[in-house]
């Protein structure tokens, strides 16, 4: 039923695009149409909405699309690559003019590349990378540099832990590009410092509740012989902090916790003296996404990768940036 409604909505949107009258427009403007004038319809396949980061990303795209007068059709992949592939096929069938894909995992998107290519629909990869060639298999990738984020986290940690560090790593989700990169950048950096080692590494799917449960299990089965938690995102770190406190392990005193994203809750935790630091990975990517679409509409070249700058927040600057956090 939901699908049928969506289809009808899209047919209505598309029908209303075709009857557009541009006769009173200056021809020079027609040569360089803005997306508003074109009444673009853009499809977005979001992998899920299980954490505040995902919700913030979708809302940012909605906000910007609305501002530009672009119709955005959002489909939720329910944490399934198969569902995301079906969603893309559906978006193509609906006749959208661009597709934005926030891909759950790194591999297995060949069918999406060829479907979009055959339909002549430019594809934009959002926030996670895939094993295709940017600029060839898809128009561009927009997001952060995950290796760099992990290096910043590791460097901050090396500075804080003067002696040895026994690290628990809470990884995000299996086969996701940001997880692969956040593992790699972190390991390559700590390996250069003697006395820093990862003692346990577990998946907690980027979720707060799972971060908490996994941390509880680790404390039960492994014990307390660790002094650092490195979480691939803030939500898992916040969950882990709850588990630490419940076990009478004091964050920031007994165990240093560091994570990635820079959410409002994480900055609050830094200010409260619990989370040590968080490396920014912003979900607010709409400006860059729609700027790329705009450039493409104007026939200008679009760089194959659009990497957004990211900062680190700890107690020296968290308060200053809390209002801009998501
Ligand atoms: O860090 C996490 C989200 O893909 C970069 O996914 C993104 C990550 C982000 O669920 O919180």
Domains 2-143+284-309 and 146-280 share a fold: yes
| Residue 54 Cβ contacting ligand 1 at under 6 Å | yes
- pLDDT digit string, tens, across residues 154-198: 999 999 986 689 999 999 999 999 999 999 999 999 999 999 999
Distance from Cα 53 to the centre of ligand 1, integer Å: 7
The protein residue with its alpha carbon nearest to ligand 1, atom 10, reads: 206
Residue 23 has pLDDT above 60, yes or no: no
Pairing of strands 312-314, 277-280: antiparallel
- pLDDT digit string, tens, across residues 27-61: 333 333 454 546 899 999 999 999 999 999 999 99
Distance from Cα 324 to the centre of ligand 1, integer Å: 18
pLDDT at 291: 98
The protein residue with its alpha carbon nearest to ligand 1, atom 7, reads: 127
User: Cα–Cα distance between 93 and 96 in angstroms, integer?
Assistant: 8
Q: What is the mean pLDDT of residues 222-236?
A: 97
Place of tokens 């003692």: 199
Q: What is the mean pLDDT of residues 69-81?
A: 98
- pLDDT digit string, tens, across residues 266-292: 999 999 999 999 999 999 999 999 999
Please state, rounded to an integer, the average pLDDT across all residues of the chain.
Answer: 91
Residues 6+ apart with CB under 8 A from 280: 149, 260, 261, 262, 310, 311, 312, 313
4 versus 42: the higher-pLDDT residue is 42
pLDDT at 15: 40
Q: What count of Cα atoms within 13 Å lies in the side-chain half-sphere of residue 201?
A: 14
Residues 6+ apart with CB under 8 A from 199: 166, 167, 168, 222, 225, 226
pLDDT at 26: 37
Which stretches of the chain are assigned E, i.e. beta strand? 41-46, 71-76, 98-101, 123-126, 140-143, 165-171, 196-203, 228-231, 256-261, 277-280, 305-307, 312-314
pLDDT at 164: 83
- Domain ranges (residues) in the chain: 2-143+284-309, 146-280
Distance from Cα 291 to the centre of ligand 1, integer Å: 22
| Residue 127 Cβ contacting ligand 1 at under 6 Å | yes
pLDDT at 161: 83
User: Cα–Cα distance between 239 and 217 in angstroms, integer?
Assistant: 12
Residue 22 has pLDDT above 80, yes or no: no
Which CATH class name applies to 2-143+284-309? alpha beta
- pLDDT digit string, tens, across residues 107-121: 999 999 999 999 999
pLDDT at 200: 98
Q: What is the mean pLDDT of residues 231-257?
A: 98
Taking the whole predicted model, whether its pTM rises above 0.85 is answered as: yes
Atom of ligand 1 nearest to the CA of 235: 11
Q: What is the mean pLDDT of residues 67-94?
A: 98
Atom of ligand 1 nearest to the CA of 176: 4
Residue 135 has pLDDT above 90, yes or no: yes
Query: For the chain, what percent of residues have pLDDT higher than 70?
Result: 88
Residue 7 has pLDDT above 70, yes or no: no
CATH topology of domain 146-280: Rossmann fold (3.40.50)
pLDDT at 38: 63
Distance from Cα 276 to the centre of ligand 1, integer Å: 19
Q: What is the largest CA-CA distance in the chain?
A: 74
């Amino acid at each position: 039923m939901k699908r049928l409604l969506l289809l009808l909505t899209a047919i209505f949107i598309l029908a209303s695009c075709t009857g557009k009258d541009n006769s009173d427009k200056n021809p020079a403007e027609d040569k360089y149409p803005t997306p508003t004038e074109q009444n673009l319809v853009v499809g977005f396949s979001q992998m899920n909405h299980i954490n505040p980061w995902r919700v913030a990303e979708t809302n940012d795209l909605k906000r910007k699309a609305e501002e530009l007068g672009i119709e955005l059709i959002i489909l939720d992949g329910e944490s399934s690559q198969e569902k995301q592939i079906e969603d893309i096929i559906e978006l193509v069938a609906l006749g959208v003019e661009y597709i934005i894909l926030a891909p759950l995992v790194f591999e297995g998107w060949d069918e999406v590349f060829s479907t979009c290519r055959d339909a002549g629909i430019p594809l934009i990869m959002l926030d996670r990378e895939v094993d295709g060639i940017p600029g060839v298999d898809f128009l561009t990738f927009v997001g952060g540099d995950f290796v760099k984020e992990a290096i910043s986290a590791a460097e901050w940690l090396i500075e804080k832990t003067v002696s040895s560090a026994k690290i628990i790593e809470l990884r995000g989700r299996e086969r996701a590009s940001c997880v692969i990169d956040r593992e790699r950048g972190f390991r390559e950096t700590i390996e250069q410092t003697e006395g820093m080692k990862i003692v346990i590494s577990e998946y907690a799917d980027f979720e707060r509740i799972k971060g908490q449960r996994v941390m509880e299990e680790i404390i039960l089965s492994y014990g307390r012989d660790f002094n650092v938690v490195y979480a691939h995102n803030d939500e898992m770190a916040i969950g882990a902090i709850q588990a630490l406190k419940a076990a009478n392990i004091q964050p920031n005193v007994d165990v240093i916790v560091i994570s990635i994203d820079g959410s409002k809750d994480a900055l609050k935790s830094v200010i409260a003296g619990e989370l040590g630091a968080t490396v920014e990975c912003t979900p607010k990517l709409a400006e860059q996404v729609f700027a790329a679409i705009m450039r493409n509409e104007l026939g200008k070249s679009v760089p194959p990768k659009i990497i957004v700058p990211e900062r680190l927040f700890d107690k020296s600057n968290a308060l200053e940036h809390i209002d801009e956090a998501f």
